[in-house]
Every structure is written in C-alpha cells, then in structure tokens.
Structure 1
Amino acid sequence: MSKLEKSLRPEQKFNGEPLEWLIPKSDLNAVDVDGRLEMSYTVKLKDGRELTPSRTQTFLISDAVDTGTLLPAPEVGNGGGSEIDPGNYPDGLPIIIDGYPQPAVGDYLLLAWVLPSGEASVQVIRLDESSLVAGRFSLLIEPALLLASLGAVQVFYQYAREGASLTSHAVPLDVTAPRAVPPMPTVRDSTNAGAADEYNINAWDIRRNGAYVLIPSEADLRPDEHVEVHWQGDPNGGRTIIQYPDAEGPLVFNVPAEFVPANMGVTPSKRFEVFYRIVETNTGLHWDSKAVKLLVLPVDETRYERIDCPDANADEELVLVPAGGRLKLEPWLFIKKDQLLSIHLSGIGAGSVPVTEVLRDQVPVTELQVKEGVDDLLTHELLSKLQPDQKFLVWASVSFDGVQWTDFPKLDLTLKV
C-alpha cells in the first residue's frame, strides 16, 4: 500500500477553526476499487516536539453509491423551481437540510455545490447541542458563488462521523443570468416634470375613471408569470396593488379614482412611486420594475362644492331668527366614508372684534353623508355674536390624507336683524 502524506499549507494558520487538507483527485483515483485509505495526522510544535499521532481512520473505496442508502435531497429555498436567478437572492440562496437519522454531537455536515465546470464548493459545519435541538440546518450559497455558477449545477450534502457516512440525493438546478430590471411603466396622461423618472398628472383629469398604468411590451413577461401594479402612494388611503389588468388589454391596469385624492399635493414629499411587479406564479418569486415617481397635482379649490345656506335670500342675506340658519354641503368630488370634514365661520363681532368659529371639527364623513351630503346649523347663539349688516364667511375644508387640508369655496353672507 502506497502512502500519501500531506503537509500543512504555509498560508493556513490555526485560529481555533478546523484545519483542512485537500487531497487531489488524482491521488484518490490511484486507489483501486475495494481498496482503502488510512488517514491520520500528527502535530509538530515550533520547538520541534511532536505530539502523539491521532487515531487512524479507514475509508473503503467503492465504484458506485448504493442509491438505497441515499438521504433525502436538501430543500432549495427558491419555492421548488429548477431555475435560479441570482438577482432574486441578494443575501444568498438558502439550502435547508431537514436532518438525517440519529444525528449526534460532533458529526460533520458537508454541503456541496457542484458548478457547471465540475468543481465543487464545499461548506462544512460540525454539529453541537443547539444544532440537534433545531433539528434542521440552514446554509447559504453566497451571491458571488451564484453569479459564478451560471449553467447546470447540483447541490447535495453528506454527513460523516468516525465509522459512518452517508450522502444525499442531489438536486439539479439551472442558474440563469440575472434578469434585467424591467423597464419603467407609463401613467397615461402624465407629463414629464424634468427628471427622466419624474412625472406629474392632474387629479382633475383622472377624477372619474382613475389612473391607467401601462406596462411596456419590453417587460419580457414569460408564460408562467403575471403582473401586478403597485401604486405606492400615501398609506392613508392613497396606496393600493392592482392585481388584474383592465378590459382594455393585458398590459393596461386601472387604479380607481378613490386612490387619487390622498396623493394630491405640490411638494416633493407628495411624489410617490408607481411600478409593476412580475411574479412567478408557482413560486412567488418576483422582479420589480423601475418606478415612475408621480406627483398628483391637486384640483383647484373652485371645482369643489360651496356650502349653501337654504335660509338665506337670493342676495345672500340671512335674517337672524331663533331657529338660526341651516347649512347644506352637497357631496363633493372624491368624497369618501371616514374622510375628515370641518366647517368654519369667520366674521366681525361687537366692537369690530374678529369672530372665528369651527362648527364641525375634523368629523368623519358617514356612509349616508357620502350619498346625501352634510347638514349643519348656524345657531342663533352663534349668529348673535356677529355684527348686523356685516358680511361673514362660511366654508368647509376636507382632509383627503388625514394631514393636509383642502379649503372649499367660501359662502359670503350678510346678517340681517
């Protein structure tokens, strides 16, 4: 029996981790089938002393694996598909091993990732008490290794302890080139705001039918994939995911008008992203497109309903009577249940002192009011604070996003006694 000795590589230093030696495949091929390998090691200290040699392990060499002894294949954390897109795993591809019969502390667990070249990248862990409690083991194929593995690969694991070892079934995989980021969608009727990805759209133009998001044909949608549109607006009523295309066509998605008003504004903070997501139907893996950064320009104040006082005459004069004066606000553009509504009054009181009152302070709109509008009252007590023959203003304001407020047109009344 010929003897092979391997010396510790000079660049390998002991730092508390297990030391490794690589036995060339040519040396293994030199061993006859049904032959054996005997392995042991010795440690020589810097002062020249040599420690007691380790026990010898004997490995029998066979020409084939008995498939009846193979362990279950590892689980690849990609949802079960055979294709791997490295772009989907920025933190690495998880490989799960559900354990094997009678694992023990001190066992070695080896995960082998076999590249298209035939070269194998190997990870080795040694089991401890915590490993046995968990009952399953998770290892990562690093992103850099995925990118270096384009083509057909295999992954399997082995366990070994003195006198015993087993190998699992291998999982064949196809590592594809990372998918390019899908191109940006278009929001119909929007106009470019300067930067390549910044667009504006007028809320008035989409008040009835909502916004239409168009997916470019270059999106490279595959047969087992579907698209959903993400309208990433204000979280308080301005955000939604549209999962089904419009009847107009498979690449046209309609965002209902109810998700428009919460996003209205003119400041950069109101600009939000609109993108589409390509989803692999069977696995749930997805690719997000480049995003349009959209600003929804608000509707002009004059286009909203002005509050009315049915008890005032045609000259907008209101006579002071014990019953006060009724107010009526008809349903307005973008009205919605639970929207916050306030009603204000501003006028001149005795001694020319300003009078300001909030008749309704941030009160949520009810479902009935969505259909029939809002009724309120200018009480006799309130009107008595105002100077006769002086004009006063009454108006409503609404918050579409719970933060910003939109004033409606003002009603200009004159109090008569």
Structure 2
Amino acid sequence: MVLPMPSVPALHPVENWIDLVQLGTSDLETYIYHPDIADSSFWINWRGCDAQGNVVDVFDIEYSVIGDPGPGGVQVLIDNADVQALDQGYVFYSYRIESTDMPGQQGEESLRRFFYVGTRERQGVIPALAVAQFKQSHQLQIILDWIEGDAVVVVPPYRAMSTGDTVTLTLDLYFMGDPFDTLTLPKVLVPEDLGQPLQWAVSKSELEIIEGSFVDVSYSIAYAVPTTSSFSPVQRLEVVTQEPISRLPALIIKDFNDSALNPEAFPDGVRLQVPLYPDIQVWDTVVMYADSVAASRQSLDLYQGQVKALQVDISTLDSQVLELTLDYPWLQANNGRQMQLGYTYARLNAAESGDVLAVMLSKPLHLPTPIVEQATAEDSGEGPPRGYLYADDVTAGVHIRIPDEAELGLDGQVQMHWQGHAGTGSIIVTEPMPSQPRRYFIPPAAIPANMDKRLEVFYQVTTASGEGPFKSRAFDLAIHAPTHGWPAIQLTEPPSLDTLSLAAVPPGGAVFILERWMFMAAGQRVRVRVDGLGRDDNPLRIPLRQGAEEPVTDAEFAAEKLQVIFALSGLQALKLHNDFVVRVETSFDDGDTYLLFVSAVILLTP
C-alpha cells in the first residue's frame, strides 16, 4: 500500500512554500491520514535544512490514534521554532506506520512531501486561480452577525472569461470537524458577467447550522469551448458569531474629505484607495463592495451594490498605491442614499476585511418655486413670483407641481405647504398624486378661507439622512372672490318675491331659505339680519342668525340649504309700506371676515 504524504494546509498552492510572516508565532499545522489510521500508531519524519546547510530534524516521535479521526486526519503541530529556523531552507516531510511484523516498531514510510520555508523569489511561476472570498468575513472567519439575509461569496474575474462558461462554487460544510453537507452552485456566464466579479448568495441558515465549525470554499471552471477545466485552491473558513475586535483601516476616497459626496463633482467616478495592509503580496486579490442604504419608493434595481476586484502585482508594491474606481452612474443613481464602502483581500490561508466607510451621497438640493396650475402671473419685480386665481375657477381644488429641474435628493420626504389663513385655509400635503410624484392636490376646502387674501405656496424637503427640512422659494398667490354667483335669500312662507303682507304671516313667523352656495361646508359661519325702519321712523336692526347659531350644521349641509325664521313680533315692529332688507353674510375664515351675499329687499304691507 502506498501511504499518502502528510498534508500541510499553509503551503502556497503554486510556489510550494511556507509563509513565515503569516505563520507568525503559531506552530505549523500538519495532518496525517491513511486508510488504516484508526486505532493505530505512526511516527513523523521531518527532515529540514536551512540556507546554510544546518540540519533541523524532528523524528521518532510516536503518535497514538484513538478511534477514527475521519478524512481530515490527525493534527500534528510542528514547533514554531523548528519552522522559523528553516527560513530560506527546505523540508522533506513524511511519516512511518507501525510494522505489521514487529508490533511497536516503525514500519513502512509514506510518500515524502517536499517544500520550501520562507518567501521565495517569483521567477516565471504561473499563478493559481484566486481564492473565493466571503464578503462577511475577517481573518478566515465568517461572521454570522454581519450577515443580513444572505452571505455573499465573490469570485474575482479570470482572464479567459467567456459567455457560456460554467463556474461552479462549491462549499464543503463541516460540523464538529466531520463532513456535513456540500453546496454546489453553478453559474452559466452571460455577456454582462465578462470582466466582472461573480457573486453568489448563500443563505445564512446554511452557515448557522455549522456555527463553531468550518467550511471549505472553492470553485471550478468548465469552459464554453471544451478544454481542460480549471480548479481554484480550497480556502477554509471558520463560522463564528461574534465580531472581531478590530479590522483593517477603511477605504479612503481620493480628493474628498467631507461628510457628504456630491456625485456631480465626480463625473469620472471616485477613486478609492485601499490602505496597504501588512504582508501585502503579489497575486493577492482585493475586492471592494459598495452598497447604499435607505428606504426607497423606486425600483430596487437601481441600488444593487457594486463589486470591484483588483489583483495585486509588483507595481502595487513598488508604487505603494492600491486603487479602484467607483463609477459615476452608480453614484448618481444612489444620490440621496448613504453609501457604504468595504473591502476584503484574500490569498490561500489568508483573508481579512476593512472597516466600512459610510458617506452620504448628496447632490445639492435645488428647490425652485412651485408651479400653481391655472394661476395667472403678476409682475413681481425682484420679489417672490406672484400670481392669482379666481376662486370660482378652482371649486374642484388646485394642483401644484414641483418643477422638473428641482433636485429633491433621492428618498427625500417632500411636503407641499398651502400656507393660508385660519384653520381651514392652510394645509400640508405629504403625498403626491398617484403616478405623478411631483404633482400635489389642494382640496377645495382649503380655498375659500383665502378669498380676497394672499397666501404662500411652497414645499419643504427633509433628506433621507434626516437633514432639514429645507424650504423652497415660495409662490405669492392671491385668490379673488367671485363677484357673482352667490345665492340670494328667498322668502318662501308666505311665498312672495318682494312683497310681504303682514296679515299673511303665520303665527310662527316668515320663513326665508338660503340655497347651497359655492364652497358651502359644515361649520362655516352664516349670519342673517334685517335692516329697516321702525314704527317710530328710527333705523331698526333685527338679528335673525348670529353668534352661536351661525355655524352651518351637518343637517343643513346635507340638505344643501339654510332656513331662517323672521318672528311675527319682529315684523310687527317694522314700519308698514316701507322696504326692509334681509342681509346674509358668510365667513369662510372662521369668523375673521364675512362676505356679503345677495340681499333680499321686501316691501312690508298690512
């Protein structure tokens, strides 16, 4: 039986060396496995030589295996000092199993693994595919508390990308160190994928099941034109809940040091600088994530996060500059939202993430004067725009529009203010017309209180980040009361147009009716009085409806008319063969002013 060589996960997948900087002060993890390892013994055989030829050997150490360790094998730690002593040297590493002929003695030797120790010069080595990266991870740990909904796995673009390639992401899940499940997620590339990082969503619940254990993530490429498939290295990540104490520094936005970013100031996009992290290496892959956050009434498609990837090369190390670009169209589409920028870097057996940088995307607000539909413009000179409406032209209400050139900020809350008089003459409208997001309706009830007065019409914007409200320029609007069209009060009992015989008045008094009028509403104040001469030829004023009796009742509004009684005793106090006047005045502004309707002039006869 040929015994497999030991496994050393920390080995560089292509260059076959141990990164001593990455290893730090930790012991080197290795694993021994063969089919008959359960309940057996083995001895390691580590033969090292440094750059000067000095020997560093570790051998004849027996390990006893209890039970079956599974395909992961038995962990064997090589002391850190023994590894560090071999910097720029090399190792032959194998193990021996127990002799079948002489129990307790060393027997057959495994295949030997050869590798270098310490960073090697790169001379014409072909790099492997980049490892897949989890967005919500740090220091080879997937952080469950960072996942909202789904975890995001990113595979950087590869040079031979072609429409029709099938890239299959594989996640081997382990629970308590044992294989638990395998997720296989194929993606067939379409033209829009070419040159872009590929993304997969992995349900958080799939990872929560194996919390405390680990997942091996890798991917393969089956090319559209049949040829040899490619396979990425396997990256192992632990699944944990708690967030790490610290992360790498956040990205830096080049040529920007404010709290809010105006997309219009960056027509070519923004340059994002990744602070060079310790131990940066050629062929590391850096992935930048741009997301935007805010409630939106618009299509979510505009706000899909952007992902960019960049591979470190020697120019990065020489220039000490690592930059990516976030495109202008994405910035513009997300104006008014909070932009969140993060990044990860990874290579085999190394992966870290930076702090998230949050910046408000805010094009300067531009709030020109609203447009009052049907209003006639007046000369306003250098003052606010002015205009007027005739009340009888807008009995069905008024529409106000925010100009197309106004810049409101994405997701900003808009309120249209009709700032008129009294309690009924002012209104704030918070919802626009259906399917017309910049058009607002002022109901008829808010119009009559402003007749023969001026009011301000403006709108206010509160940004998605809570700033404001910011007020637009106001429109100075006059509403002219109708000069005609008001009803005249009519004598209905006894029925007559302009003459009333005292003898015909019933004991309950004369009855007058006022029919429905323009903008009639419950609660409006209507006062009625009689002006005439008394029997002594002195002026006489008799109130018929005043004070607490003035407000229109719900019943009167429903009946669309008012009834007024002129008592017989009042009529008897008037001079016969003389006219008296029944005057009706209505207030549309809660009693501040009254508008005179058409009066009735009646001759009183015996």
Instruction: Tell me the equivalent position of 2:603.
Output: 414
SS in 1 for 2:536: helix
Return the structure number with greater relative CO, CA threshold 8 A, min gap 6.
1
Which residue, out of 364, 368, 371, partners 1:186? 371
Distance 1:388 1:217 in 2: 68
Q: What's the CA shift string for 1:114-171, capped at 9, x where partnerless? A: xx9xxxxxxxxxxxxxxxxxxxxxxxxxxxxxxxxxxx9xxxxxxxxxxxxxxxx998
Single out whichever of 187-196 and 278-287 deviates more from structure 2. Answer: 278-287
Aligned pair 1:355/2:543, yes or no? no
Distance between the aligned counterparts of 2:411 and 2:463, measured in 1? 6
Question: When the two structures are aligned, how many residues end up with a matched partner?
Answer: 258
Corresponding position of 2:201 = none
Query: 2: distance between equivalents of 1:247 and 1:239?
Result: 22
* Aligned 8 A contact 1:181 1:287 in 2: no
Q: Which residue of 1 aligns with 2:94?
A: none
Q: Deviations over 1:326-378 (max 9, x none)?
A: 11112221111211111111111123211111111142111111121211211
The equivalent residue for 1:273 is: 456
What's the counterpart of residue 225 of structure 1? 412
Among 453, 458, 478, the residue aligned to 1:295: 478
Could you tell me whether the CA contact under 8 Å between 1:85 and 1:179 is conserved in 2? no
**Distance (Å, rounded) in 2 between the aligned partners of 1:193 and 1:176:** 38
Using the size of structure 2 for normalisation, the TM-score is: 0.39
The alpha-carbon deviation at position 278 of structure 1 amounts to: 2.9
Match status 1:305 vs 2:494: no
Q: Which runs of 5+ in 2 are unaligned?
A: 1-242, 247-257, 263-272, 274-337, 339-353
Q: Give the distance between the partners of 1:85 and 1:356, measured in 2 at CA.
A: 71
User: 1:324 Cα deviation (Å)?
Assistant: 2.2
Q: Describe the shift of the 1:273–1:182 C-alpha distance in structure 2 as closer, same or farther (beyond 3 A).
A: same
461, 474, 499: which one pairs with 1:317?
499
Counterparts of 2:445 and 2:525 in 1: how far apart (Å)?
15
Alpha-carbon contact 1:306-1:395 (below 8 Å) kept: no
2:552 aligns with 365
Q: 1:374 aligns with which of 559, 562, 576?
A: 562
Question: Residue deviations 1:370-404, cap 9 Å, x none?
Answer: 12121121111000111112111102111111201
CA distance in 2: counterparts of 1:171 and 1:294, whole angstroms: 49
Q: Distance in 1 between matches of 2:494 and 2:464?
A: 62
Match of 1:257 in 2: 444
Q: How far apart, in 1, do the equivalents of 2:480 and 2:435 lie?
A: 26
Deviation at 1:182, TM superposition (A): 0.7
Counterpart residue identity of residue 347, structure 1 = G
Question: Is the 8 Å Cα contact of residues 331 and 371 (structure 1) preserved in structure 2?
Answer: no
Per-residue deviation, 1:175:
6.5
CA distance in 2, matches of 1:364, 1:240: 21
More strand by share: 2
Residue 230 of structure 1 and its aligned partner are, at CA, apart by 1.0
SS at match of 1:371: helix
Secondary structure of 1:305 counterpart:
coil
* Cα contact 1:83–1:176 (8 A) shared by 2: no
Q: Residue 490 of structure 2 aligns to a residue in which SS?
A: coil
Displaced runs of 4 or more, over 4 A: 67-70, 82-86, 169-173, 175-178, 312-315
- 1:386 equivalent among 551, 574, 577: 574
Task: Give SS of 1:335's match.
Answer: coil
Distance 1:83 1:201, change over 3 A: farther
Offset of residue 263 of structure 1: 1.0
The alpha carbon displacement at 1:280 in A equals: 3.4
- What amino acid maps onto 1:272 in structure 2? L
TM-score between the two structures when normalised by the length of structure 1: 0.55
Q: 1:185, 1:257 → 2: CA distance? A: 19
Aligned-partner Cα distance in 1 for 2:556–2:476:
34
Contact 2:491–2:497 (Cα < 8 Å) also in 1: no
Q: Does 1:404 align with 2:593?
A: yes
Which aligned pairs between 1:82-161 and structure 2 lie closer than 5 A?
Answer: 84=260
- CA distance in structure 2 between the partners assigned to 1:314 and 1:256 by the alignment: 38
Larger radius of gyration: 2
Q: Which amino acid aligns with 2:551?
A: P
CA distance in structure 2 between the aligned counterparts of 1:350 and 1:248, rounded to whole angstroms: 67
Identify unmatched segments of 5+ residues in structure 1.
1-66, 71-81, 87-115, 117-151, 153-168
Q: SS at 1:217's partner residue?
A: coil
Against the structure 1 CA distance between its residues 224 and 175, is the aligned structure 2 distance closer, same or farther, given a 3 Å change threshold?
Answer: closer
Superposition pairs for residues 33-112 of structure 1, below 5 Å?
84=260
Aligned-pair CA distance for 1:307: 1.1
What secondary structure does 2:492 align onto? coil
Does structure 1 conserve the Cα–Cα contact (< 8 Å) formed by 2:576 and 2:605?
yes
Q: Aligned partners of 1:293 and 1:246: how far apart in 2?
A: 23
Cα distance in 1, alignment partners of residues 576 and 476 from structure 2: 52
